[in-house]
Structures are given as C-alpha cells and as structure tokens.
Structure 1
Amino acid sequence: MNDAETTAAPAETSADVPTGVPIDAPADAHALDARLSALDARVERTNELLQRMLAEVAKTPSTHAIFVDAGYVHAAAGLLVTGTEDRRSFDLDAEGLIEAFIDKARTIFADSRLLRVYWYDGARRRIHTPEQQAIAELPDVKVRLGNLNANNQQKGVDSLIRTDLESLARHRAISDAALVGGDEDLVSAVEAAQGYGARVHLWGIEAAEGRNQAEALLWEVDSQRTFELDFCRPYVTRRPVTTYENEGEPPPSREEVRFVGAQIAATWLAERGRDRLAELLPGAPYLPGPVDQDLLVEAERLLSRSLRGHASLRRALRDGFWQHLKTQY
C-alpha cells in the first residue's frame, strides 16, 4: 500500500464525536427527570396542604373578648346617672350591663364569636364580695380581682388587664378586644396586644363633664365608642336615702351603740382578715376616713337611727369597734 492509499483513508474528525458528553448521558437524563418529577409531586402536595389549611382558617370565625374595668364603670356611670361616684350611693345592675355590652359587641363584631367577658374589680385581700361572687357565676364572665388599699383604691387591676390582653393576643385567642376603661396605665396593655396583631377598641361612658379617659389611651387604640346617658340609665339606680322614723324617741344608749360597733368589727375582721387588722392597729384609737365612714353608715342602718350630731355616741361606736378588734389580735 502506497502513501496515497494510506492518506486516502477517511479520518475520524471531532465533528463526528460530540465533545463534553459522557458515555452514560442517557442514564443521567433519566435520573434528572425522576428528580424533577419527585419535586413536582412534593410541590403539588404542599399546595394541597396549604389549600386545606386556608380552607380551615376560612371556616374558623374570628374571636373577640370584652375587658371591663369595674372601678371605671362604677365611677363614670354613677357620676353620669346619679351625680356621685360613691358606690354606697347607688346600685349597679352588673348582670344587665354585661349583657348590654355583649349585645353591642355582637353587633359591632358581626362575624366574630365571643370568647368571654373579663370583669376587673378590687376587693380586700382579693376575696370576692357577695356581689362579685354573683357576677362570677354569670355565663361567659371571668372576674379578676386586684386589691383595695385603706382608701378603697384599686391596686393591681391595670396589670391584670395587661396580662390577660397580652396573653390572649400572643396566643391568637382573640382578634379584637373591647376595652371598657379610661386609665392611662392601660396604654401599655393596648400596645402589648397590638404588637401581636390584635385590634383594641376603647369603649367609654359619657363624661358628666370634661373627659374621663386619658388622651394617651384615646390616641393608642384602633377605634373608640362612647355610651351615653340613655344607655347607662337602666343599669344604675340611686339608693333611697335612709329615713329614721323614730327620731323623736330618746337616742340609743352608749352600751347599745358600743355593742353595735363590736358587731360591725366582727364582720369587718371576717371579710378583711388579720393582715388588714395589723395595718389598722398602729393608728388606734383613730380610724382611716373611709373605714370610719363605713362604720357610721352601717351602725345607722343597724340602729335605724342617725348618729350625726351625737359625738359621744360616735365615740362609743368606735370604742366598741376597737374593743372587739383588740381582743382578736
């Protein structure tokens, strides 16, 4: 074979054999298709689960709760209807008022369900009074108690409201909160709830004069609503002024008044406890103004006689009160 014949033989060129493609390319392509198919299936499954979850969420109604500062309600409604904030001067139909709040919320939050009503009040040593016990027994109502100091001022109520508002909002238990109150200390409670996505709506009672809700609170909430005199009037009733039909008779004796003072002291001690007594003793023989006033009012009720203008009988009343307390310490 000559050189011409040798060079004439066709040579295999780079155009005939593709470069950069491994010998097992068909197998790799099948594996890629399989992985893509699996990925598509997973995406489809995820979309299906999301659709189910969204469907369940759509079927779940939003939820609201009502938070009532009872101290604010008594003061504002009492002043508006009867002209006084003194609880001893009027009766508040708490059950009727709570039901009215629930009805109003049902109208405002039409597509929402009620979780419950929280009723915040103060009590000595956080022990329920008979009135508070009756409220606690109402359906869908939770009574939460702060303390009362020597001047009958609530302590700890605002912190209870903040704790409940923040906790319920954080756990997505409520979407809307109706807050009946006016104290500036509630601003932090509103901010905490809003931080978790809940909307807070401030409800107030018409002020007899001026304003009975803090401006900072009004600025912070999502909406405001005021209940006027006609709304409040059915639930607030002034107590009748006590009349003493036997005023023409001789006044009771000092011993009789002293005995009544001891009776009242026994009830006072049972309701408030020895810790409160320990706070009272250093001031003997004087009583804090609110305690002395309560003592006088209760004694006049039991005696059906006025002790106003009878200084010696009032001293006997205090003597009987103190005498019983000291024997129990």
Structure 2
Amino acid sequence: MTNYSLVESDGPDEPPDGRTAALAAVEARLEHTNELLRRMLAEVAKTPSTHAIFVDAGYVYASAGLLVAGTEDRRNFDLDAEGLIDAFIDTARTIFADSRLLRVYWYDGARRRIHTSEQQAIAELPDVKVRLGNLNANNQQKGVDSLIRTDLESLARHRAISDAALVGGDEDLVSAVEAAQGYGARVHLWGIEAADHGNQADPLLWEVDSQRVFDLDFCRPYVTRKPVTLYENENAPLPSREDVAFVGARIAATWFAERGRDRLAELLPGHPYLPGPVDGELLTEAERLLKRSLRGHPPLRRALRDGFWQHLRMVCQN
C-alpha cells in the first residue's frame, strides 16, 4: 500500500514570480490604455460638431434672378453675394446651434478658370473659399458638380464636418450627397423658391436628410435689377448694314481674344446660328457701341451676326 505524505499549505498555489510580474505588467498597460481612452472621450465630448455650406452659384444666380428680377441673365441684375452669404451663415447658425462653421464654399464658372473681379471680391471674404469650374461657349458651367463632390466627400471622409448645407438643385449632385452620407455626414438641401416650376431635381430631394427653401422675401434684399439702358439718339437715322457688320467683327475680335480657339471650336458647328447667351451678349455689346437699339430691326441684327461670323471664320483660316 502506497503511503502519501500531506504538505501543509496556507492557501492556494501561488504562481511563479515571473508569471506574477507578467500579469502585473498587462494590468498596468490596460489601465494606461483605459486612461488614454477616457481622455480622448473627454476631448471629443468638448469638441463641437462642425458644418460647412456648399453653394452652387450658377443655381443661386439663375433662381434668385428669376424670382426677384424676372430673369436668369446675370447681366440684367446685380447680386449682393456678400450679403447673401452672410444670410446663409446666419441661417446655418440657427439650424446648427451647437456646431461651428468650417467655411462657405462658393462654386462658380469662369473663362479659363480665371477669377472675374466679382469672384475675386467674394474670394476675399472671411470664411469663404471660391472654387471655379469652366464656362463653355454657351456660358454653361462645366466641372462645378465634380468640384462639389470632391469637397463634400473629402471633408466627410476626414470627419471635418458633421453636417453639410448644400445650396443647389442639379441632379448631378446626387452622387456628392451619397458620397458624404457614406462617411456619416448629414446633408441638408437648401433651395430658392421657384418662380414658376420646380428648380431642384426630384432624385436630389429624395436623397438628402432635410430640405429648406428660401422665399421671395428672403432673396429680395440681395437682388437688384439693372435699369434699362436708354440711348440718346433713338430718333437718329439707323446705322447702315456695313456699319453694324463692322461692329459685329469688332466684338468678335474681343470675344476670340478672351475665349480662345477652344471656345471657337465649340461655336463653329452651330454656324450660322449663335447660342442664345452668345447672341444676347453680341446684341447688348453692339447696342452699347452704337448707342442705338437694334431691337425690332431684323436686317441689322442679321448684319451684326454676319460680321461676327465673318471675323471668326477669317481667324480659322489663319
């Protein structure tokens, strides 16, 4: 029969000294990690949320101009962009009461992406960043929607904003909204009251987190229609077709110098017709130079276009 000896013990087995030290080290590291997390959460709790305002200037000019001045043509009204931007900021401050403004992004088009004097003045405003797309021969913006998407997606991805107020209406902005929402940002669509029919695409309205529309009373202080030009010599004899054609060629020379061959290449396929915006610019500038209205005189307007085209086609041959 085997004899067993009993060993008296004061308690449960103690782990070796090396294991005790290892456990102590792990506990110390866990406590350090927990302390870092507590500090980080405390900082996050103290950090306010952030919002930014993204403005499609082409949409604002067209919608506010039509609503207040009855025209989408920028040449026929003045827009107090600084005052309107301040109003947008005040609105955001009310809606996002516990949030701070990152900045206002102002998206517009310009020939060769060169700032106009008006765009430069806007760019100099505090907390405003001007982003420029291009303008084609028809004065249509190109590349603006992609700029909005890039900024929206980048800011949302880097958690730089929690809310985005988007002033626009183009369906092409849907992808920008989806991209920002994919990173957790909320997108709020702001619009200008439509003068007759809707000016915001339904798919865009369906995609955003909230909607707000600025009415006539809100927009009226920032839009001023320009006075109709009155010419002193309206009773004078009409200019000859040759004189009008010469003025058309003179305007074409300026047009080409400002826009270059790329814009001319876009214009040529439409010969002998001119896109509406270009034709409007041509008529307005011709009347300014002639100090005489050409409205109601179709033969003279044809002579004006003929002179314009003749110069441009001569440029193509050189």
Answer yes or no: same fold by TM over 0.5: yes
State how far apart, in whole Å, the 1-side matches of 2:258 and 2:300 are: 25
User: How many Å apart are 1:263 and its aligned residue?
Assistant: 3.2
Structure 1 position 194 matched with structure 2 position 202:
no
2-side partners of 1:32 and 1:315: how far apart? Answer: 98
1:263 counterpart (250, 264, 276): 250
Q: Is residue 139 of structure 2 the alignment partner of residue 149 of structure 1? A: no
Return the match for 1:71 from 58, 81, 94. Answer: 58
Aligned to 1:6: none
Q: How far apart, CA to CA, are the structure 2 residues paired with 1:127 and 1:91?
A: 20
Q: Partner residue of 2:232?
A: 245
Q: Cα distance 1:316–1:231, how it changes in 2: closer, same or farther (>3 A)? A: same
Deviations 1:151-209 (A, max 9, x none): 33323222221111111101111111000011222111111101101111111111223
Question: Does the Cα contact within 8 Å between 2:133 and 2:141 map onto a contact in 1?
Answer: yes
Write the distance in 2 (CA, Å) between the matches of 1:52 and 1:64. Answer: 24
Cα distance in 2 between the residues matched to 1:114 and 1:321: 48
Any residues of structure 2 matched to 1:115-126 within 5 Å, and which? 115-126=102-113
Partner Cα separation in structure 1 for residue 267 and residue 192 of structure 2: 36
Q: What residue identity is the alignment partner of 2:178?
A: E
Give secondary structure in 1 for the equivalent of 2:169. coil
Residue 14, structure 1, aligned to residue 4, structure 2: yes
CA contact (8 A) 2:136 2:263 kept: no
**Structure 2 letter corresponding to 1:67:** F
DSSP 3-state at the match of 1:277: helix
Partner of 2:42: 55
For residues 5-49 of structure 1, the C-alpha deviation after alignment (integer angstroms, 9 at most, x for no partner) is xxxxxx98325258xxxxxx65x3433332222222111111111
Normalised TM-score (structure 2): 0.88
Computed over aligned residues only, the root mean square deviation of the Cα atoms, in angstroms, reads 2.4
Partner residue of 2:161? 174
Give the equivalent residue in structure 2 for 1:92.
79
Give how far 1:81 is off: 1.2
Q: Secondary structure at the match of 1:117?
A: strand
| 2:189–2:205 contact (8 Å) kept in structure 1 | yes
1:198-234 CA-to-partner distances (Å, cap 9, x unmatched) read 1111111112234322222222211211111111000
Structure 1: runs of 5+ lacking an equivalent: 1-10, 19-24
1:312 Cα offset (Å) = 4.1
Q: 1:16 to 1:240 in 2, by over 3 A?
A: same
Which secondary structure state, in structure 1, belongs to the residue aligned with residue 138 of structure 2?
Answer: coil
Q: Is the 8 A contact 2:156 2:162 kept in 1?
A: yes
Separation of aligned partners in 2, 1:206 and 1:310: 37
SS in 2 for 1:128: coil
Partner of 1:133: 120
Q: Structure 1 pair 57/90, CA: closer, same or farther in 2 (3 Å)?
A: same
Which deviates more, 226-235 or 238-247? 238-247
- 3-state SS, counterpart of residue 207 of structure 1: coil
TM-score normalized with structure 1 length: 0.85
Q: Give percent identity, aligned residues only.
A: 82
What whole-Å deviation, never above 9, does each CA across 1:72-105 have from its counterpart, x for those lacking one? Answer: 1122212211222232322211121111111211
Q: 1:15 to 1:218 in 2, by over 3 A?
A: farther
Displacement of 1:57 in angstroms is 2.1
Q: How many residues align?
A: 312
> Radius of gyration: which is bigger?
1
Structure 2 distance, partners of 1:299, 1:65, is: 43
Paired AA for residue 43 in structure 1: L
